[in-house]
Amino acid sequence: MFITTVNPRFGDVDGLGHINNTVLAIWFELARNPLFRIFNPTLDISFERWPLIMAHTEYDFVGELFLPYEVEIRTFISHIGTKSFTIYHEAWQQGRLCVIGKAIVVHYDFTKRQSTPLPADKKLLLTEHLLKPAKG
């Protein structure tokens, strides 16, 4: 699990007095930095060196988030496939689970414009962050 702490800002609050739903796309992307580092330690973005492309994101808004309380984002891996993996996020505020997110990321070669198998060593590193580790 990776933990990322974010602080809401004034403009994250919409006209209904809570954090706007689109803000979670931003926060969860930020929370993916440690996972991105598994594939590119210096987060050096280039066609030659960045091997991931986003295929799917989703967000379940199970509770409202408010200014000014800190938000803790907990990030896990929920599935590891042949050419893709699924990231699972939770956003917690004051002990309440408020948003659950998922992102399916494909291992991708931008120079050839095609998906490629996840390398075994990366799969192993992802395994360390599995939401429910396989039992022994």
Which of these, 97, 72, 98, 86, lies nearest to 3 by C-alpha position?
72
Identify whether the C-beta of residue 115 lies closer than 8 Å to the C-beta of residue 81.
no
Residue 68 or 95: the one with the smaller Cβ distance to its own copies is 68
Question: In angstroms, what is the minimal distance from the CB of 79 to its own copies?
Answer: 16
Question: In angstroms, what is the minimal distance from the CB of 121 to its own copies?
Answer: 21
- What is the contact surface with its own copies in residues (CB under 8 A)? 7, 9-11, 13-17, 20-26, 29-30, 32-33, 36-37, 42-43, 45-47, 50, 53-61, 67-68, 110
CA dihedral 35, 41, 43, 47 (to 10 degrees): -100
Residue 37 or 96: the one with the smaller Cβ distance to its own copies is 37
Question: In angstroms, what is the minimal distance from the CB of 20 to its own copies?
Answer: 4
Identify whether the C-beta of residue 131 lies closer than 8 Å to the C-beta of residue 71.
no
